[in-house]
């Protein structure tokens, strides 16, 4: 309230300076909020990246396991005298 009274009583040059100071503070708050939001998004994306990397490793391991099983089954069929295409 005191700031409002000071603003009303101030001459135009001081009012202008007060307005610029007010808007600069508002811009700073907005900027800080945007930075915080972007940092949170970055953390989320980093976590998602880790999850996808872990999933990729799991799928690669599964592919290796299936390839090993395939090779074993092929050997067993060949040993049994069954031709494989």
Q: What is the mean pLDDT of each run of 10 residues along the chain (85 residues)?
A: 75 84 90 96 98 98 98 95 85
Provide DSSP, 11-71.
Answer: -HHHHHHHHHHHHHHHHHHHHHHHHHHHHHHHHHHHHHHHHHHHHHHHHHHHHHHHHHHHH
37-68 as b/e, with b when 16 or more CB fall inside 10 Å?
A: eeeeeeeeeeeeeeeeeeeeeeeeeeeeeeee
CA-CA distance, 76 to 70, in Å (whole number)?
Answer: 10
pLDDT score, position 7: 67
Which pTM was predicted? 0.57
| CB of 10 closer than 8 Å to CB of 18 | yes
């Amino acid at each position: 309230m005191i700031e409002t009274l000071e603003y009303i009583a101030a001459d135009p040059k001081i009012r202008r300076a007060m307005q610029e100071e007010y808007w600069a503070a508002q811009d700073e708050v907005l900027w800080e909020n945007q930075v915080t939001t972007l940092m949170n998004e970055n953390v989320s994306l980093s976590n998602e990246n880790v999850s996808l990397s872990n999933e990729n490793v799991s799928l690669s391991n599964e592919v290796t396991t299936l390839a090993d099983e395939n090779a074993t089954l092929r050997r067993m069929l060949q040993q049994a005298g069954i031709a494989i295409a």
